[in-house]
């Protein structure tokens, strides 16, 4: 298989994940209401993050250089898939701004309005909460907002 074909399949799999997230959310929202649907989706996605977080636990509570290398270094397509920009990496924390997101791009390309994309981005981003909190860090994120550029802006701080 060529590298380009493999790359396309990788991006297509992320787009598929994006579409599944939205379709599941939309069906749940119709049955349970938006708030309840978002709550359930966030719980499930957070749990997946907790599963992923184990590999970052050796860097807690404050090896941000090691965490940066492990996390940013593991982004698919040599980082191009999310185009991370490390804005801070010191003893006090790690801040990463993603300039791209294949999930957000798939939602926008499918015709979802930016306010819908912002809702589902906030839901999908809870994977990072689960990942970094379970690894032993304090974590917060700013997710996509209509009219905004890029996507998630992660803020990782020393764990307690």
pLDDT tens digits for range 106-159: 999 999 999 999 999 999 999 999 999 999 999 999 999 999 888 999 999 999
Q: Residue 59 is part of which domain span?
A: 3-157
Q: How far is CA 79 from CA 16, 71, 85, 100, in A?
A: 20, 10, 10, 10
> Residue 146's domain is classified under what CATH number?
3.30.1380.20
Dig out the tokens for 99 from the structure.
Answer: 């300039």
Total domains in the chain come to 1
Whether the CB-CB separation of 156 and 94 falls below 8 Å is answered with yes
End-to-end CA, the chain: 46
pLDDT band at 160 (very low <50, low <70, confident <90, very high): confident
Q: Please write the tens of the pLDDT for every residue from 91-116.
A: 999 999 999 999 999 999 999 999 99
- Which distant-in-sequence residues (6+ apart) come within 8 Å of 43 by Cβ? none
Full-model pTM: 0.94
């Amino acid at each position: 298989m060529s590298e380009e074909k493999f790359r396309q399949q990788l991006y297509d799999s992320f787009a598929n994940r994006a579409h599944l997230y939205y379709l599941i959310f939309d069906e749940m929202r119709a049955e349970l209401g938006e708030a309840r649907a978002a709550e359930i989706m966030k719980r499930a996605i957070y749990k997946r993050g907790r599963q992923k977080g184990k590999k970052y636990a050796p860097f807690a509570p404050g090896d941000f250089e090691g965490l940066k290398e492990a996390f940013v270094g593991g982004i698919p397509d040599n980082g191009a898939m999310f185009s991370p920009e490390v804005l801070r990496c010191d003893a006090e924390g790690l801040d990463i701004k993603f300039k791209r997101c294949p999930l957000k791009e798939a939602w926008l390309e499918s015709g979802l309005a930016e306010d819908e994309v912002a809702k589902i981005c906030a839901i999908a981003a809870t994977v990072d909460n689960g990942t970094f909190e379970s690894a032993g860090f304090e974590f917060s994120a700013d997710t996509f907002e209509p009219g905004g550029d890029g996507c998630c802006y992660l803020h990782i701080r020393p764990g307690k």
